[in-house]
């Protein structure tokens, strides 16, 4: 194994080791959105975008696809309409739960 491949493997292991903590942070951001905290939707978007990009960079294709599903809820503007906000957050929570399952 090359040094580069070994380093990527180490980063991948570290990403997976910290995944539960990251997903917990996303859950916390979801709660902040529910409470109407200023900037919470932007923080949630950033957290999901970061997770999606890191999973993609590390070749975790199923995780990438699932994280993109959650991100698509935000980028599709579903949080902007008050009537659909709860359902949108439920969809993001479902993606978070699926990501946790994929880790196992």
Confidence of residue 88 (pLDDT cuts 50, 70, 90): very high
| pLDDT (0 to 100) of residue 83 | 82
Report the C-alpha gap between 95 and 23 in whole angstroms: 10
Is the predicted pLDDT of residue 92 greater than 90, yes or no?
Answer: yes
Residue 68 φ/ψ, nearest 5 degrees? -65, -35
The domain made up of 3-103 is a member of CATH 1.20.58: no
- For the four alpha carbons of 22, 23, 27 and 29, in that order, the dihedral sign comes to positive
Q: Where are the domains of the chain?
A: 3-103
Distances (CA, A) of 28 to 51, 53, 78, 96: 15, 20, 19, 12
Instruction: Please say whether the beta carbons of 104 and 78 come within 8 A.
Output: no
């Amino acid at each position: 194994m090359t040094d580069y491949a070994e380093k990527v493997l180490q980063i991948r292991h570290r990403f997976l080791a910290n995944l539960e903590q990251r997903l917990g942070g996303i859950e916390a951001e979801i709660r902040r959105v529910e409470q109407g905290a200023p900037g919470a939707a932007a923080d949630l978007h950033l957290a999901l975008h970061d997770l999606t990009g890191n999973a993609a960079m590390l070749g975790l294709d199923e995780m990438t696809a699932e994280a993109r599903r959650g991100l698509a809820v935000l980028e599709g503007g579903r949080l902007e309409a008050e009537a659909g906000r709860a359902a949108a957050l439920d969809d993001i929570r479902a993606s978070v739960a699926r990501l946790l399952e994929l880790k196992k």
